[in-house]
Structure 1
Amino acid sequence: MTSSVTDPAGGAGRRTVLIRRATARDAKRLTRLVRNSRAYEGPYAPMVAGYRVGPDYIETHRVFAAVESDTGRLLGFYALILDPPELDLMFVADSAQGLGIGRLLIAHLRDEAQRAGLSGVRIVSHPPAEGFYRSVGALRTGTAAAYPPAVMWDRPELVLPIA
């Protein structure tokens, strides 16, 4: 899937984004994106401090990366688990926030889920990201309880309907 997005800061104008299947060679870049995410600063930092997106994870699950087509720069990624259907990971690079990368990834996820015959995808959201997921059509279904020491807070649980 290739799309173009507009840089709202006017810096680079329009950029072409390619969403492609991630490979084992992407593992280090995906791990860096997760560990360096400003969304997980402060009280959320312990959750990603030692997190690793390994080659085995990428080969086992449907992991897709959004990259700038001309530079190959990683803009974001997501991981879809089919059984049971769940969005396991979704991250957008801090430098790409506000460019529409998250919406492109969700559109791609919907296409993948539809091809797989899914009617909905569960999302256990990072609390600050709930508004984004709701803005793309996810519906709140409940709350996933904290499980210390990895996750010290309750998280919104949603479902993204697949048409």
Structure 2
Amino acid sequence: MQSWDPTMVNPCLWFHVTCNGENSVTRIDLGNANLSGELVPQLGQLANLQYLEMFSNNITGTIPKEIGNLTNLVSLDLFLNRIHGHIPTALGNLQKLHNFRLNSNSSTGTIPYSLTTITTLHVIDLSINRLSGYVPRNGSFSMFTPIRFVVCYMIYEIIDQVKRW
């Protein structure tokens, strides 16, 4: 980004970065910004970050477990990228999270049960990935209506049927 000058002391002056009155980063809006590369573990140091919007880019690699340090995070939108690997269990630490969208990536493994402890979670979209196992039905996941998981369930059911053959 042209306005992102690493020599500037205050990143609050950068485009697509929002800060609070104490010059602490609270929002990163980089959706559909034609970005490539990987998410860095240092993102986990942004203690007051509430919104991490990096959808519809060309981001590769895995989700760093350090994202689980962002305990003020309300929205994590990483959909439409090329993220792979497991969903970190540490994301269960995000107890203020309302929206988690990871759809249309290449994530693998199972849905961590730690996500079921997030009682504030209203939207979760993990569809169109390479996940395996079952969709948890306990904790906060028991409150979701079936329509929220319809695509996810269909994928899990197909995988389960193939395993039985």
Give the TM-score taking structure 2 as reference length: 0.29
Return the structure number with greater strand share: 1
Return the structure number with greater helix share: 1
Give the TM-score taking structure 1 as reference length: 0.29
